[in-house]
Amino acid sequence: MKTPKIPENTPYSCTQRTWLGRFFASMRSHILQNTPTDSSADCRVIHILYGTQTGNSESVANDTAAVAKTQGLNPVVKSMDAVEINQLAVMEYLLIITSTYGEGEMPDNAQLLWDQVAADTAPTMQNMQFSILALGDTSHDNYCKAGIDWDNRLAKLGAQRIYDRIDCDADFEGASKNWINSVIPIIADRANDTNSATDSVETNNTDNKAKFSRKKPYLSKLLLNRLLTGKNSSKETRHYEFSLGDSGLSYEAGDVLNIIPQNCPELVADIIKAIHCAGDENELVNGELMPLTESLLNHYEIKLPSKKLIQEIANRSGDQQLNNILESKDKTKLADYLWGRDTLDLLHQIPAIAFSAAEFLALLKPLQHRAYSISSSGNTHPDSVHLTVACVRYKSHGREHKGVCSTYIADLVDDNSQVKIFFSPNKSFSVPEDDSLPIIMVGPGTGIAPFRAFLQERAFRKASGKNWLLFGDRNESTDYIYREEIETMQASGILTRLDLAFSRDQQEKIYVQDRMRENAAEMYIWLEQGGYFYVCGDASYMAKDVDKALHKLIETEGNKSAEQAIDYINHLKKEKRYVRDVY
Ligand SMILES: Cc1cc2nc3c(=O)[nH]c(=O)nc-3n(C[C@H](O)[C@H](O)[C@H](O)COP(=O)(O)OP(=O)(O)OC[C@H]3O[C@@H](n4cnc5c(N)ncnc54)[C@H](O)[C@@H]3O)c2cc1C
Ligand SMILES: NC(=O)c1ccc[n+]([C@@H]2O[C@H](COP(=O)([O-])OP(=O)(O)OC[C@H]3O[C@@H](n4cnc5c(N)ncnc54)[C@H](OP(=O)(O)O)[C@@H]3O)[C@@H](O)[C@H]2O)c1
Ligand SMILES: Cc1cc2nc3c(=O)[nH]c(=O)nc-3n(C[C@H](O)[C@H](O)[C@H](O)COP(=O)(O)O)c2cc1C
């Protein structure tokens, strides 16, 4: 093998002072030269990559960069889809912050880079030092799987861990702070050992820290609560408008609004009775002493049972079926068992057994906010924010069950309520900057929400690009929500094409992907014209089937092999022209 020629003045690698180190440093300079903020020869440069669906990881990446700067490091923050594998391979200090989506999957913006890293052809990463922060939620199977996969794979490719991975549950702020405060000083120490100081470079991110956050939500008034579905519908989908008052808050079409709900008072009372407490027992919650009733109303998840609670109930009840399932560790069996059962249903299995307030609270998870895709454009509605929410109500185990947040807004919020809200920006899920480009929006059910916002936004911008909406729901007569608005937008010309799929109006199910198939030729033309393809709504079935239909459409209409269709779609993803907001 030829010894690589080392250019004069090539700075030394921070970790290897050998010719190999110098070679890597020169490679880094070469490969990363298109990164304006990155002086790769500078050992103070750390790359912070985020994989995100709804912005949490991006926000933690920005926090990490802020701390890194205070320690004299030069952080470069990037979305994972802005990085090529050859750039990744020469990063010396790498911090990855990624969430997990779907069922243990990468967030959309991390998928392409991950595919390359996971491939047999991935280069070695021996010159890299890294640490992973994994965001997830213990209520999902495959907890933090994306972060775990990155951690294992980078180590397998020869990279060295600077600091062990930390997995964060839904309440990620504390754990992420610990990780930042542990990993950054280690890198700062190592970098200080190896390089002289250079001027600090700017991160390439914009500080998207919201003025109001989960810890400090805005208290909003509900201005409108309107039933969208018809009287005889099998669904209850509602339109809400929340005031932004004098908050100074603004949002973009495609962003998400988070609501911190309150639990149903009747459910709280039933649970207190089931555990044989009185409700006035005072316990410390987040450093504040408060009665059990108050803590269950506002601070704990009391509908979906935590894993700890399920285990405790199995132990105390001796229930053979539940114990067998837990011992088998069969996740599907457990999910089947839990389907339709909430905390109260489980407590009813041990009617004679009492819990102390403290014992019971220790088995619960903190109450989480729920996310909703905003259905208005901030330009057309600067003073309010609209949502399109399907109420979760079902009968099971002899009781009426209610989704915590969807029924909190529908049933409990009135004119005098102050609803705790905060925004999550969703930068990649937005209308194209170029108003002349066509957009295709696939949004059955509540998936229509962001597309109502997109259409308002395109009208506001007087965008010349074509707009195609594919919407569907159960029955046309009762579930064609926003019908008047949609027809008005059709008449005005802003909605160029509309395809509807009502699944239960006939014997055979008809879904949005059937409409894609029927209109494949035209859809391919729109894509070829630089079109954007957006999907919103159910992640478990709809989004997967639409994805399959898109692959097929590109194969048939583009006359491509399955592999070529994958490349075509990867290219769309890379250009952020195939983006999803699925849940
Ligand atoms: C980025 C994002 C955007 C979203 N946008 C929207 C939106 O625009 N509109 C919208 O309506 N939702 C949206 N959601 C979903 C929303 O966040 C909530 O998950 C939804 O409103 C249910 O919350 P809940 O608190 O009412 O129900 P929860 O208390 O969380 O209960 C839901 C749970 O109840 C159980 N369940 C539900 N139905 C049944 C049944 N029939 N039988 C048995 N068990 C059942 C399931 O375990 C389910 O997980 C979005 C989610 C995300 C992540
Ligand atoms: N992961 C989640 O927790 C999750 C995901 C999505 C929605 N939800 C919740 O469920 C409630 C109702 O949701 P929604 O109004 O958005 O949708 P939805 O009522 O579940 O479905 C909307 C339409 O999509 C159809 N559909 C079902 N399977 C499909 C598939 N594989 N491909 C294409 N279309 C398909 C439905 O048909 P049929 O019903 O006739 O089959 C219906 O016509 C909301 O509370 C929402 O938050 C929860
Ligand atoms: C539809 C959906 C699927 C999810 N799937 C998982 C999962 O499989 N495993 C997990 O640990 N967390 C899962 N989560 C939780 C997210 O990883 C968590 O909310 C994270 O904070 C999101 O960060 P982000 O905003 O950076 O994407 C899921 C969340 C949603 C809404």
Task: Answer whether 147's CB lies under 8 Å from 96's CB.
Answer: yes
Q: Is 493 within a domain?
A: yes
CATH number at residue 323: 1.20.990.10
Looking from the CA of residue 405, the nearest atom of ligand 1 is 25
Q: What DSSP string describes 498-530?
A: EEEEETTSSSS---HHHHHHHTHHHHHHHHHTT
70 & 118 share domain: yes
Q: Which of 329, 362, 395 is the last residue of a domain?
A: 362
Cα dist. 161→45, 97, 169, 268, 445 in Å?
Answer: 17, 14, 22, 45, 44
Looking from the CA of residue 60, the nearest atom of ligand 3 is 26
Q: Give the per-residue pLDDT at 426.
A: 85
Phi, psi of 234 (to 5 degrees): -80, -5
Q: How far away, in angstroms, is 490 Cα from ligand 2 center? A: 25
Q: How far away, in angstroms, is 196 Cα from ligand 1 center? A: 52
145 & 229 share domain: no
Give me the number of domains the chain comprises.
4
Ligand 3: which residue has its CA nearest to atom 4?
101
Q: Give the per-residue pLDDT at 219.
A: 97
Q: Is 213 within a domain?
A: no
Instruction: Return the ∠ at Cα 79 (arms to 369 and 526), rounded to 5°.
Output: 95
Report the chain's mean pLDDT, rounded to a whole number: 91
Q: Is 206 within a domain?
A: no
515 & 381 share domain: no
The range of the structural domain enclosing residue 294 comes to 265-362
Query: Strand (E) positions, 319-398?
Result: 370-373, 384-390, 393-396
254 & 396 share domain: yes
Mean pLDDT, range 340-360, rounded to an integer: 94
Residue 283 pLDDT > 50? yes
Task: Answer whether 242's CB lies under 8 Å from 413's CB.
Answer: no
381 & 235 share domain: yes
286 & 411 share domain: no
Ligand 1 pocket mutation, candidates 372, 411, 451, criterion most atoms within 8 A of CB: 372
Q: What DSSP string describes 114-177?
A: HHHHHSTTPPP-TT-EEEEEEE--TTSSSTTHHHHHHHHHHHHTTPEESS--EEE-SS-HHHHH
236 & 377 share domain: yes
- Split at pLDDT 50, 70, 90, the class of 28 is low
Q: How far away, in angstroms, is 435 Cα from ligand 1 center? A: 33
- Split at pLDDT 50, 70, 90, the class of 10 is very low
Q: Is any atom of ligand 2 closer than 6 Å to the C-beta of 23? A: no
Residue 337 pLDDT > 50? yes
Q: What DSSP string describes 412-438?
A: I--TT--EEEEEE--TTSS--SSTTS-
Q: Which of 194, 210, 228 is the last residue of a domain?
A: 194
Ligand 2 pocket mutation, candidates 405, 478, 509, 538, criterion most atoms within 8 A of CB: 538
pTM (2 d.p.): 0.87
236 & 337 share domain: no
Q: Is any atom of ligand 1 closer than 6 Å to the C-beta of 446? A: yes
Q: What DSSP string describes 181-206?
A: HHHHHHHHHHHHHH----PPPPPSS-
350 & 390 share domain: no
Q: Is 122 within a domain?
A: yes
Q: How far away, in angstroms, is 327 Cα from ligand 1 center? A: 29
CATH number at residue 406: 2.40.30.10
- Split at pLDDT 50, 70, 90, the class of 39 is very low
Q: Is 471 within a domain?
A: yes
Q: How far apart are CA 259 and CA 247, in angstroms?
A: 16
Q: Give the per-residue pLDDT at 41.
A: 52
Residues 404-449: pLDDT tens digits?
A: 999 999 999 998 999 999 999 888 899 999 999 999 999 999 999 9
Residue 44 pLDDT > 90? no
Q: Give the per-residue pLDDT at 353.
A: 87
CATH number at residue 526: 3.40.50.80
Q: Is 176 within a domain?
A: yes
Q: What DSSP string describes 283-309?
A: EEETTEEEEHHHHHHHTB--SSPPHHH
Q: How far away, in angstroms, is 241 Cα from ligand 3 center? A: 26
Pocket of ligand 3 (CB under 6 A): 52-57, 99-104, 107, 135-137, 140, 142-145, 170, 172, 539, 583
Ligand 2: which residue has its CA nearest to atom 2?
583
Task: Answer whether 476's CB lies under 8 Å from 504's CB.
Answer: no
Q: Is 89 within a domain?
A: yes
Q: Is any atom of ligand 2 closer than 6 Å to the C-beta of 445? A: yes
- Split at pLDDT 50, 70, 90, the class of 576 is very high
Q: Is 13 within a domain?
A: no
408 & 488 share domain: no
Nearest C-alpha neighbor of 579 from the set 411, 428, 448, 406: 428
Q: How far apart are CA 579 and CA 570, in angstroms?
A: 11
Ligand nearest the Cα of residue 405 is: 1
Q: Give the per-residue pLDDT at 194.
A: 59
Nearest C-alpha neighbor of 300 from the set 213, 368, 392: 368
Residues 481-524: pLDDT tens digits?
A: 999 999 999 999 999 999 999 999 999 999 999 999 999 999 99
Residues 83-141: pLDDT tens digits?
A: 999 999 999 999 999 999 998 999 999 999 999 999 999 999 999 999 999 999 998 98
70 & 183 share domain: yes
Mean pLDDT, range 343-372, rounded to an integer: 95
Looking from the CA of residue 582, the nearest atom of ligand 3 is 1
Residues 152-188: pLDDT tens digits?
A: 999 999 999 999 999 999 989 999 999 999 999 999 9
Q: Give the per-residue pLDDT at 191.
A: 84
Instruction: Return the ∠ at Cα 57 (arms to 298 and 338), rounded to 5°.
Output: 50
CATH number at residue 33: 3.40.50.360
Q: Which of 341, 362, 383 is the last residue of a domain?
A: 362
395 & 466 share domain: no
DSSP category for residue 105:
B
